[in-house]
């Protein structure tokens, strides 16, 4: 058992050395992002205190009402990333259009797509929430302002993706295409230390994660899957399943990655494309789950990472998790199985 203390910085540099033609640019980009998530961590863990202590720390000197946490997280990421010279543009769940790099800063060869604080409606209940990010190499001319074309790339072209989960401990999970690695923040030194080396998702598990409140809005095929998964038949015919749904995508997928099972957010009669966003939620999570040996599809056999995006905030149905669990769901959704 190695007792090496591996910080994320050291891991990124070693990863970078392993990839041909690396220029250190990518390592520097991730280091800037790590600073941003540490600042978000600090604010998220204090959020509860603001109410209890009525602390005014979160009011500025003009006594202006402090931003909501997701707006705060959005600003922190933008300001941490806009001047390093690594990005040609950014796109955020919080902003309608592309975020340009300010005129005075150099433009870089990557584009960052992110959801600054997913699940933030859960913060008042002290439920784990997270930041999700996706990084592509730009496709437009170097040194020019990035365009939407740089953002609208299929997920299989991502060069890195990851999420942070602000929970009992703050963790960062990322992939650069050579496996999935988890780092836990040691607040006493302010470092993310390697805690989950080369995460592999179990082949199958009896856990399904979905908002059953949408049952009546789902397709007949989806309802058949849910009816099947709850059937209480002898173990030798069908594993028994538990429903685990936190309602915070980062937390639900993090558990699925470590324990196995399947996370679903299918289309329904109200949300015809599902609820979750392709570019900065589905694609980064799919890249991570596939790199850990799992599968990620729209439930109809289309690999999410191959979907050609058409707009920044487009939604997509999601079936993500252990290969055998995704296969089970697809057999129902594609009408190949009725019981």
Stretch that binds ligand P6P, among 47-55, 132-140, 160-168, 245-253 (CB under 6 A): 245-253
Q: Residue 171: CB partners within 8 Å, gap ≥ 6?
A: 164, 165, 182, 183, 184, 185, 195, 196, 254
Instruction: Rank residues 76 and 318 by Cβ distance to ligand P6P and give the closer one.
Output: 318
Stretch that binds ligand P6P, among 97-105, 241-249, 301-309, 329-337 (CB under 6 A): 241-249
Q: Does 211 bind ligand P6P (CB under 6 A)?
A: yes
Instruction: Rank residues 119 and 321 by Cβ distance to ligand P6P and give the closer one.
Output: 119
Q: What does the buried/exposed string (b/e) look like for 178-196 if buried means 16 or more CB atoms within 10 Å of the residue's CB?
A: eebbbbebeeeeebbbbbe
Q: How far is the CB of 212 from ligand P6P (least distance, A)?
A: 9
Site residues for ligand P6P, window 127-166 (CB under 6 A)? none
Q: How far is the CB of 124 from ligand P6P (least distance, A)?
A: 13
- Total residues contacting ligand P6P by CB under 6 A comes to 9
Q: Residue 220: CB partners within 8 Å, gap ≥ 6?
A: none
The answer to whether the beta carbons of residues 333 and 274 sit under 8 Å apart is: no
Q: Residue 216: CB partners within 8 Å, gap ≥ 6?
A: none
Instruction: Rank residues 163 and 192 by Cβ distance to ligand P6P and give the closer one.
Output: 163
The answer to whether the beta carbons of residues 238 and 325 sit under 8 Å apart is: no
List the structure tokens of 208: 């399904």
Q: Does 248 bind ligand P6P (CB under 6 A)?
A: yes
| Residues 252-281, mask of contacts with ligand P6P (x by CB under 6 A) | x----------------------x------
Among 247, 273, 303, 314, binds ligand P6P (CB under 6 A): 247
Site residues for ligand P6P, window 79-118 (CB under 6 A)? 118
Q: How far is the CB of 116 from ligand P6P (least distance, A)?
A: 12
Among 84, 108, 119, 323, binds ligand P6P (CB under 6 A): 119
Neighbours of 321 (CB within 10 A): 31
Q: How far is the CB of 110 from ligand P6P (least distance, A)?
A: 25
Binding residues for ligand P6P (CB under 6 A): 118-119, 121, 211, 247-249, 252, 275
């Amino acid at each position: 058992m190695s007792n090496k203390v591996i910080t994320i910085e050291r891991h990124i540099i070693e990863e970078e050395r392993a990839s041909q033609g690396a220029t250190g640019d990518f390592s520097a980009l991730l280091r800037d992002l790590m600073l941003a998530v540490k600042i978000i961590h600090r604010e998220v863990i204090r959020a509860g205190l603001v109410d209890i202590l009525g602390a005014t720390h979160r009011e500025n000197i003009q006594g202006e009402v402090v931003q909501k946490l997701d707006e705060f997280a959005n600003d922190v990421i933008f300001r941490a990333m806009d001047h390093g010279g690594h990005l040609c543009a950014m796109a955020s769940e919080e902003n309608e259009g592309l975020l340009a790099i300010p005129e005075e800063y150099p433009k870089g060869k990557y584009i960052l797509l992110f959801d600054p604080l997913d699940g933030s409606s859960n913060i008042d209940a002290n439920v784990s929430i997270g930041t999700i990010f996706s990084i592509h190499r730009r496709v437009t001319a170097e040194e020019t302002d990035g365009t939407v074309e740089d953002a609208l790339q299929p997920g299989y072209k991502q060069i890195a993706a990851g999420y942070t989960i602000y929970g009992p401990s703050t963790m960062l999970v990322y992939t650069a295409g050579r496996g999935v690695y988890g780092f836990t923040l040691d607040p006493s030194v302010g470092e993310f230390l390697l805690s989950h080396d080369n995460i592999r998702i179990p082949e199958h598990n009896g856990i399904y994660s979905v908002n059953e409140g949408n049952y009546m809005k789902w397709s007949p095929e989806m309802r058949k899957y849910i009816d099947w998964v709850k059937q209480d038949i002898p173990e030798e015919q069908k594993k028994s399943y538990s429903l685990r749904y936190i309602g915070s995508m980062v937390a639900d997928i993090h558990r699925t990655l470590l324990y196995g099972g399947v996370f679903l957010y299918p289309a329904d009669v109200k949300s015809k494309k599902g609820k979750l966003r392709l570019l900065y939620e589905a694609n980064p999570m799919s890249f991570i789950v596939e790199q850990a040996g799992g599968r990620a599809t729209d439930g109809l056999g289309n690999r999410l990472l191959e979907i050609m995006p058409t707009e920044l905030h487009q939604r997509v149905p999601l079936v993500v998790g252990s290969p055998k669990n995704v296969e089970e769901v697809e057999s129902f959704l594609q009408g190949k199985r009725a019981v």
